[in-house]
Each structure stands twice: as C-alpha cells, then as structure tokens.
C-alpha cells in the first residue's frame, strides 16, 4: 500500500495535505497524531468511504481508485471503524455479513438468506478472536463494548485478504477488553495479515507495530521504526516540539 501526494479538502478546510504513506507486505504500521491531525481522514480515503481531492493510491502493485467502501472491500481491505459500524438491532452473523449476505436463491433484493452457513462462518470467526458471546442470535444491542468490538474485528478478519485497518479499536474499551483486542492484533501479525492501526495509546502502538507514522495538522511529519524511538520523542513529534529533521532515523514525508 502506498499513497502519493494524497490530499483531502472539505470545502476550504485542508484535512489532509500531500500525504505519502507506504507500508510493506506483512507489516503492521500505526498512525498517531493529535485530534484533527488527519488520522481518520486518511483512513476514509484508503477505505473508499471518501474520495481524495488529489493524489494517488497504490495497492498490491496497482493504482486503485475506490469509488465506495465496497470497492475497497473487494480489493481485500477491511476496516474496523471508530464508531464500529454495527447495526444494533441485528444479531451477530447478520452484522458480520452485513452488505454481503450469503444467499441460497438469487432473487435480486429478495434473495433468500443462507442463515445456517452465515452462522457457521460467524462462529468460526469468533472462535479465532476467542471472545465469548452468549447467544449469536441475540441482537448486539445489549452486548458489552468488548463483545461488540470483537464482532467488528471478526468481521474484518473473516473477510480481509490483504489489509486490515483499525481506527481506534480500543478507545471505548476497558482494560481486559483492550488486552483481548491487542491479543487478536498479535494473532493477525502472526498470520502475516498487514494492519494499519490508528491509536492514541502510545504504549499500545509500541507493543503492536513495526513502524509509526506521525501526523500533525493534516500532514505526515515522518515515519519511524518503532524500535528506534520512545514515547517522549513521539509525543514531541506529535505536538510539534520536535521536527522530522531533529530525529535520527526518521523518514520525512
């Protein structure tokens, strides 16, 4: 995955400017930055939710242009959004298969759902996350934040063939639930599935990823190896006290 000069303007507001982002196969990278630094903006461009104002995206060796979220998904990119993007009134399998339901007879919009198969696959997906859900056929409305997050993550993990993007996956979770999500991320690493993690939690970032991109005011400050930096340096880069050229080993945008 690579972007060249990716920019997004909302009216006169430049949410993201000239971002040259890149990652290698199998790599886990993090995107960090203050609120409004452009973290979520780049995610929306990479996942096809929005179309960039300028710039190009390359994925898996080709230039891609995602007209909508479905295009990105078809290319093998799955996203766990900050607001989870789950339908509260639907059960677990329905949420996992939302928008790409398995059907038995194709009758256009009135195609018959293959609930049995969807439930089986959902169950498999949840087993890999190790999360306990009392009854798959209950709506997710009454589930805990951790359970819901695991549903969202298993959805991503079940379909992602090439890349998973997680936007603040643990922002709303408790300690044990956060640990659970981090464990899943480590499993994905072991399986060699590339991941982009957007997080405010620097401890988590150091724990989980290989490389870190620092965003500040809609621009990429630099990217650096997670092993060659520490928390305080990262904070200084995020807040703008230090610049890319002050940090040895940092690769400016």
What residue ranges bind other proteins (CB under 8 A)?
Answer: 49, 68-70, 73, 79, 81, 83-90, 94, 98-101, 103, 107, 109-113, 115, 123, 126-127, 130-139, 141-144, 176, 179-180, 183
165 CB contacts (<8 Å, ≥6 apart)? 43, 46, 47, 77, 78, 79, 80, 195, 196, 198
Q: Tell me the closest approach of the beta carbon of residue 147 to other proteins, in angstroms.
A: 11
Q: Based on CB atoms, which residue is closest to other proteins, 146 or 216?
A: 146
User: Between 143 and 220, whose beta carbon lies closer to other proteins?
Assistant: 143
Rg from Cα positions in the chain: 19
Strand partners, 8: 16
C-beta atoms surrounding 190 within 10 Å:
8
- Write down the least CB distance from residue 73 to other proteins, Å: 6
Least separation in angstroms between CB 62 and other proteins: 21
Q: Which is nearer to other proteins, 143 or 188 (CB)?
A: 143
Q: Given strand 219-225, what is the order of strands in its sheet? A: 77-80, 163-167, 195-198, 28-33, 211-216, 219-225, 251-252
CB of 20 to other proteins, least distance (A): 26
Q: Which residues contact 191 (CB under 8 A, 6 or more apart)?
A: none
- Give 49 or 235: the residue with its C-beta nearer to other proteins: 49
């Amino acid at each position: 995955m690579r972007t060249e000069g990716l920019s997004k303007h909302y009216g006169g507001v430049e949410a993201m400017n000239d971002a040259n982002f890149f990652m290698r196969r199998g790599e886990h990278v993090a995107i960090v930055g203050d609120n409004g630094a452009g973290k979520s903006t780049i995610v929306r461009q990479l996942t096809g939710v929005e179309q960039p104002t300028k710039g190009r995206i390359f994925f898996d060796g080709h230039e891609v242009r995602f007209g909508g979220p479905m295009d990105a998904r078809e290319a093998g990119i799955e996203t766990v959004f900050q607001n989870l993007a789950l339908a509260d009134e639907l059960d677990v399998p329905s949420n996992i298969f939302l928008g790409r339901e398995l059907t038995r007879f194709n009758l256009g919009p009135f195609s018959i759902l293959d609930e049995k198969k969807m439930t089986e696959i959902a169950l498999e997906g949840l087993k890999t996350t190790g999360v306990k859900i009392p009854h798959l056929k209950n709506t997710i409305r009454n589930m805990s934040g951790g359970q819901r997050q695991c549903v969202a993550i298993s959805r991503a993990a079940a379909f992602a063939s090439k890349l998973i993007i997680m936007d603040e996956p643990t922002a709303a979770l408790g300690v044990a639930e956060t640990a659970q999500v981090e464990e899943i991320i480590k499993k994905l690493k072991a399986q060699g599935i590339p991941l982009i993690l957007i997080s405010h939690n620097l401890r988590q970032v150091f724990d989980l990823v290989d490389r870190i991109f620092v965003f500040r005011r809609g621009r990429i400050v630099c990217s650096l190896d997670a092993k060659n930096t520490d928390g305080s340096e990262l904070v200084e880069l995020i807040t703008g006290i230090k610049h890319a050229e002050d940090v040895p080993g940092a690769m400016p945008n």
